[in-house]
Structure 1
Amino acid sequence: MAAEVFTLADLTRIVLEAAGGGESVDWGDEKVLDTEFEALGYESLALLETGGRIEREYGISLDDEALSDMPTPRALIETVNAHLSAAARTV
């Protein structure tokens, strides 16, 4: 596992690697946490690619359907951290 806590910085790096774009998104502004991915310019396919990269890097499994319904970066970060926490408890 790469880290115990998944952060906005981690998500930013992975989203930009997986889906590119984001030139108009200020990922350093915490307001982005509660902005819907669609408003940020990322559709469900970009989120699925992002989810795949998160799964590979962090050794967790995210449900594709739930991932495509993830409305905001905050929701995705919380979901990833919940999976990381559960994985840590089983080790």
Structure 2
Amino acid sequence: MASRKWKNQLKTWFANHTDLPSDIVLDLPRITLIGQLHIYIENHRGVLAFSNDELRLSLEVGQLLIHGHNFVLKTILPEEILLEGTIQKVEFIESR
């Protein structure tokens, strides 16, 4: 556990002291939301659940939960996903 904390601190320091994007160095998702109609997520670890009103993605540090209506997966790639529909809520769930 202490090893993971130290590793995360090192990554944060590295991201702050270089010109590299934080999402790449810290292994964070990059999320682009266009109104309530589209959400594009990069750097996820896979789809855990999908339905007409929910998308749950695995992340390096937990999960991403998206609620709404009439969801359609327009693009799904190993680390990228494009979701269309009426997006009402985007929630991060941290792993313990």
Q: Compute the TM-score of the two structures, normalised by the length of structure 2.
A: 0.24
Structure having the higher strand fraction is: 2
Q: RCO (CA 8 Å, sep 6+): is it higher in 1 or 2? A: 1
Structure having the higher helix fraction is: 1
